[in-house]
Chains A and B, each alone.
Chain A
Amino acid sequence: MLYAERAAAAIGLPLDPARKAAVAQQLGVMLTAAALVLEFPLPDEVEAAPVFEP
């Protein structure tokens, strides 16, 4: 919740107090997904292709 509040403030995004819990819950789902990605070891040479060719 604290992260959501601070991150929202940092980008000038007002968060309705009535909505904070629901947004934090959705953010929690996304951060769980993010953890799955962040924990995966990638070689340094793998870059996010600036031009993506499938």
Chain B
Amino acid sequence: MTPPPSPGALAELDAVGTAEAVRARRLGARDAVEAALARIAERNSALNCFTAVLADTARRDAEAVDARVARGEDPGPLAGVPFAVKNLFDVKGLTTLAGSRIHASRPPAVRDAAAVAALRRAGAVLVGALNMDEYAFGFTTENSHYGPTRNPHDRERVAGGSSGGSGAAVGAGLVPLTLGSDTNGSIRVPASLCGVFGLKPTYGRVSRGGTALFAGSFDHVGPLARSARDLAAAFDALQGLDAADPVASRRPAEPCGPELSRGIARLRFAVADGHFARGGEPGALAAVGTVAEALGARDTVTIPEAHRARAAAMIITAAEGAQLHLPDLRTRPDEFDPLTRDRFLAGALLPAAAYVAAQRFRAWYRARVAELFEGVDVILAPTTPYPAPRIGQERITVAGAEVPMRPTLGLYTQPLSFIGLPVITVPLARSSGLPLGVQLVGAPFREAFLLRAAHYLESAGVVAAPIA
């Protein structure tokens, strides 16, 4: 009989490792959850990841998992895995804040978001809700209402956003698995800055049912974790049609976990040049080179008009986000976060011509990028142009130019989510102590290719997410 893991070993376990131990009766789900609650109690006050900790329901849910194990029932592929979600996911009994003060007076959600319910069905145990930029309109999680989430690698620095709590909670090892949302980079940016893996699935692949939308044209939800196999396990649990999401894909689920061991043979890799090779710190571009070398990627590929795609993404985001919040912008603008308010107000004033042109451009751009994938399976690009900046920093000098710190974090992520491509960001540790991510970008519904590549890189020791 293998002895149960020590608290230290328990913290190191990834989600799949935790579930394996629970399923094999080496570890009680209750013990796994208790250990996560202890880590949260010890470190969350310094990091400010959580806006709600659901200790009682988590203990109860964990005991139910243990009871299933005791009865000899299948407790699910994520049995006993403590997880937490960005506070824009509905959690039954909890008010969905979406990072705002305005929503704090709304009644509690009456049911779980589809993604939360899917992870719970798989045996995972929800332990809390996580901080974010107000209404997801930001890349730093410097939330004025609930305080900034701090980067576990350096508490004076931002965690990234808008799923900052999701990135920092995983990076600090408080929980092995979180959910975030990504409209312009909001899973990938915090994953890059906090040194963890993040998956933004294909648009429509994972239901957004029961989440607070931001810009519906390219809102996505997905997991953050410390291993590629955890992303695969979570993604497999999350896939599936949902009538509550009008853009949910009707494609049958395509489990990726079994694909991981296939390695990278016959996958074609190329490095994105042009827009994706400019405007970043040398270290961000060097990280791409490191990953390219490990994958044997010698070709380059040009994603056309990526800078214009980023501009179009900005227009659509601002217009859709502002329209969503227009009633509150009219009547209670003072209750918005000062970091989002003026942008929401401006977004409400954009001319229709700009919005429609941006949507038409999107169709054109999607077709051009689809052509590129006839010759390549995985495109490599930096995730963020620089590692975590300081909290409160307004401007940053990068590649010889001074640029606004916050919006520039989305330089490389926005042109990809704009057309719903699946992307994994993989974490590279660096001598400076601040990690950086590299994006693995695939054709729609080719998450398996990305997960295989991420798993290969991890197995080769090129990427890793050690607890910060």
Contacts and interface: CB of A to CB of B under 8 A. Distances in A.
Contacts of A29: 346
B219 to A, nearest CB: 12
Interface in B337-385: 341-343, 345-351, 353-354, 356-364, 366
A31 B203 CA distance: 27
Given A37-B308, A54-B366, A30 B314 contact: yes
A26 B311 contact: no
Size bracket of the A interface: 35 or more
Interface stretch (B99-107, B113-121, B325-333): B325-333
Contacts of A54: 202-204, 366, 419-421, 444
B140 to A, nearest CB: 17
Contacts of A19: 333, 341-342, 345
Contacts of A7: 349, 351
Contacts of B347: 30
Contacts of B329: 13
Contacts of A36: 307-308, 311
Contacts, number: 112
Given A16-B333, A23-B342, A37-B312, A52 B361 contact: no
Contact of A40 (B308, B333, B359): B308
B315 interface: yes
Interface string A19-32: 10011111101110
B342 A8 contact: no
Contacts of A37: 308, 311-312, 315, 354, 357-358, 361
A26 B360 contact: no
A48 to B, nearest CB: 3
Given A36-B307, A38-B357, A52-B217, A46 B342 contact: no
A31 B354 contact: yes
B308 A26 contact: no
A43 to B, nearest CB: 8
A47 B360 contact: yes
Given A12-B330, A54-B420, A40 B342 contact: no
**Interface SS majority for chain A:** helix
A46 B364 contact: yes
Contacts of A53: 204, 444
Contacts of B341: 19
Contacts of B204: 53-54
Contacts of B311: 33-34, 36-37
Contacts of B359: 48
A34 B351 contact: yes
A16 to B, nearest CB: 7
Contacts of B330: 12-14
B247 interface: yes
A27 B349 contact: yes
Nearest to B359: A48
A48 B360 contact: yes
A42 B361 contact: yes
17 contacts: A19-B345, A26-B346, A30-B315, A30-B346, A31-B350, A34-B357, A37-B308, A37-B357, A38-B354, A40-B308, A43-B364, A48-B362, A49-B363, A54-B202, A54-B203, A54-B204, A54-B420
Interface of A: 3-4, 7-8, 11-16, 19, 22-27, 29-31, 33-34, 36-38, 40, 42-43, 46-49, 52-54
